[in-house]
């Protein structure tokens, strides 16, 4: 089936920009391009619109260039973070794709970017930081830092105690038990010694002192006075 010629009124990725004269399938033009206002049939009247469409295209491309240049400066300062699930060996389940990165840019920084502008040679399957090339415009590129982190908590194994420490600990316990036994065995001897020494001897010494005081001879003056009273 022969194709039909149309003039593009809007920029269509993969097909052309405003004012471009392109050939497409009649059904595509009739059912999609014309109803959506993206193109017009090639006629003498529509040819007069080409110059104005070129002017509009030039303004649009200049605006896009300036916008993407500013965006590239902002993106170069950002670090996008994507959390993924990993196994115990640290390996990721699945991979990080351009679509996931585009979603993260929108969620984290409110940057709306077509995933086709994120250039990945292959999906990312490792944790850590990655430098990605963004083709924002035919004349503008940017580098985005992407950090892929794991949401799985790390299981840190507890190292076993060294044997020397265990032996030392066991020896200390044995020594401690031996020390308790020695004190227990010595306790009766100490109690016997305490019972044998003191309490009964002290009162006896006190009584002896009283007897000695009572048996002391009276002073001569007191004896003489008693003798005179007796006479």
CATH code, 135: 3.10.430.100
pLDDT at 134: 94
Number of domain units in the chain? 2
Please answer whether residues 39 and 46 qualify as being in contact, where contact means their C-beta atoms are separated by less than 8 angstroms. Answer: no
Walk along the chain (231 residues) and give the pLDDT tens digit of each residue: 688 999 999 999 889 999 999 999 999 999 999 999 999 999 988 888 899 999 999 999 999 999 999 999 999 999 999 999 888 887 888 899 999 999 999 999 999 999 999 998 888 999 999 999 999 988 999 999 999 999 876 643 445 555 654 545 555 554 445 444 444 444 444 444 444 444 444 445 444 444 444 444 545 555 555 555 554
Last residue of a domain, one of 150, 184, 204: 150
Residue 9's CATH number = 3.40.5.10
In a domain, 84, yes or no: yes
Residue for token digits 């305490």? 194
Distance set, CA 178 to CA 75, 172, 182, 190, 191 (Å): 73, 10, 6, 18, 20
CB atoms within 10 A of CB 193: 9
- Domain membership flag for residue 214: no
pLDDT of residue 195: 47
Query: Would you call 31 exposed, middle or buried from its count of C-beta atoms within 10 A (0-12, 13-18, 19+)?
Result: exposed
Among 150, 177, 201, where does a domain finish? 150
> Quick one: tokens of 227?
């003798």
Indicate whether 11 belongs to any domain. yes
Task: Say whether both 79 and 32 belong to one domain.
Answer: no
- Helices and strands in the chain: count of H runs, count of E runs: 8, 7
The range of the structural domain enclosing residue 13 comes to 4-48
Q: What is the pLDDT of residue 102?
A: 94
| Residue after which a domain boundary falls, among 150, 178, 195 | 150
Residues 27 and 96 in one domain: no
């Amino acid at each position: 089936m022969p194709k039909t010629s149309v003039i593009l009124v809007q920029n269509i990725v993969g097909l052309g920009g405003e004012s471009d004269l392109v050939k497409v399938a009649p059904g595509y033009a009739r059912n999609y391009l014309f109803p959506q206002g993206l193109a017009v049939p090639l006629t003498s009247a529509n040819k007069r619109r080409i110059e104005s469409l070129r002017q509009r295209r030039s303004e649009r491309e200049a605006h896009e260039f300036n916008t993407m240049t500013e965006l590239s400066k902002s993106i170069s300062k950002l670090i996008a973070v994507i959390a993924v699930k990993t196994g115990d060996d640290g390996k990721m389940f699945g991979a990080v794709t351009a679509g996931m990165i585009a979603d993260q840019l929108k969620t984290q920084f409110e940057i709306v970017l077509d995933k086709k502008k994120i250039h990945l040679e292959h999906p990312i399957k490792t944790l850590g930081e990655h430098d990605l090339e963004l083709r924002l415009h035919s004349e503008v590129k940017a580098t985005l830092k992407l950090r892929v982190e794991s949401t799985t908590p790390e299981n840190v194994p507890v190292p076993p105690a060294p044997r020397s420490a265990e032996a030392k600990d066991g020896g200390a316990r044995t020594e401690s038990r031996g020390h308790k036994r020695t004190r227990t065995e010595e306790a009766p001897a100490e109690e016997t010694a305490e019972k044998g020494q003191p309490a009964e001897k002290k009162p006896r010494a006190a009584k002896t002192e009283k007897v000695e005081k009572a048996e002391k001879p009276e002073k001569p003056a007191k004896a003489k006075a008693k003798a005179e009273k007796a006479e």
